[in-house]
Amino acid sequence: MIVCLSASHKKASLPMLESLNVPDENETMKTLCAEGSVQECIFLQTCHRVEIYCVMEDSAQEDVVNRILKLWSAKAGVSLDLLKKIVEFYQGREALIHLFNLTAGLESVVLGEDQVLGQVRSAYVKAKKLGTVKLILGKVFMKAVNTSRRVKTETKVNEGSVSISSAAVDCAEKELGNLKSVRALLIGAGEAGAITAENLRKRGTRTILVANRTYERGLELASKVAGKAIKFDRMYEVLPKVDLVIAAVSVSEPVLKANQIRRVLAKDRGARRLVVIDISQPRAVEEKVGLLPGVSLRNIDDLKEIVEDCIKTRQIEAEKAEKIIFEELERFERQLSRFLVEPVISEIFRRNEEIRRKELERAIRKIGESDKRKCVIIDRFSRELVERIMQLPIEELREAALQNDGTLLSAAEKLFRVRREKTV
């Protein structure tokens, strides 16, 4: 049985999720697998979720899950009662659906977000190297990754800006064209400023200047995006040299005013155009700035419509993505079911064939039959008899596997006294 224990943004705040991170996840995965009750294990830890995927025996599931939660509680230093309130539990098909949706970006804070695919793949690679992933989770995670790639190829669920910060950079690109030759001034180094700076970096913006009231924080952000920090009071000095200004700062009154900008730009700006995008709340740029010659001003109201349209588009594309996931999941479940049940069936046939041969030899000796033609007929009869007797049980086993009925599979192993080869 595949199970998933998930703590995510659905039930926990970001600080709470940070407290649920397991610092020594490698050691924890080894500990879980060493006990024997967990056959395979993968930890997925990101800023918005902590998840544990395991393969375990159906019969011991409840006890094993409780042991995992206790170990998680101890490692993270949070109470078991609190952990139980936050953690969502998925098993069997539900666990597969959750993982496939997650990897495709359908479970993210931002619908269609790309980053989670790499995080899932990295978690798999880490566990694979550690030796806590073998055949089952290996197949499951690789299928989830490949399905996500198909979703991203055949849908637009990850396209378009769904945050004001990313929409601001999209708007800048529409106004100025390719940003690779653009000099940009970013005012503010908070969360919105950091997202904006990263988007500017990804678009290959030629120069990124970061002005923040706390210079050290501006310096830190500038270093992350290969930019340059400037003092907050030097903003007006650099205006003649930049093509783009994005304000993402918390202020009580505008910090960029029309009269001052007019005087600065009149000195040595020439005919070059200046695009100003204000995503601050309250506004950090005077509305009159948009009336200045050669200056184009956009604010949050201009960007909200872009964001809302993109969200609607992603939601439509998410429905297409769900259909793809359903197709791939159905196909994969059949493959996984055969993978799980065929070793049992093969062992049943091997044991039956061993018994048939022994009894056939004994019967031929008893009747003293030496006619080869008759011996062949008796041999064929005994083989067909065993196959006919076993036909219905085998069909039921395969159907049970497709229905994820581990109880019947375990019963068959006990009845026929066969065991699957361990997958770990």
CB 112 within 8 A of CB 316: no
Catalytic residue selected from 4, 47, 310, 375:
47
Reading across the β-sheet that carries 88-91, which strands appear in turn?
38-46, 49-56, 2-8, 88-91
CB 277 within 8 A of CB 298: yes
CB 325 within 8 A of CB 146: no
Show Cβ contacts of residue 125 under 8 Å, excluding neighbours closer than 6 positions: none
Nearest partner of 310 among 112, 97, 173, 118, judged by Cα? 112
b/e sequence 301-339, b meaning 16+ C-beta within 10 Å: eebeebbeebbebbeebbeebbebbeebbeebbeebbee
CA dist 196 and 166 (Å) reads 6
CA dist 16 and 333 (Å) reads 35
* Residue 161 region by backbone torsions, left for phi larger than 0, else alpha for psi between -120 and 50, else beta: beta
CB 34 within 8 A of CB 41: no
End-to-end CA distance of the chain: 14
CA dist 403 and 3 (Å) reads 16
DSSP lists the bridge partners of residue 228 as 209
Q: What is the dihedral angle through the alpha carbons of 377, 379, 382, 383, rounded to the nearest 10 degrees? A: -110
Tell me if residue 54 is catalytic: no
Catalytically active residues, by annotation: 47
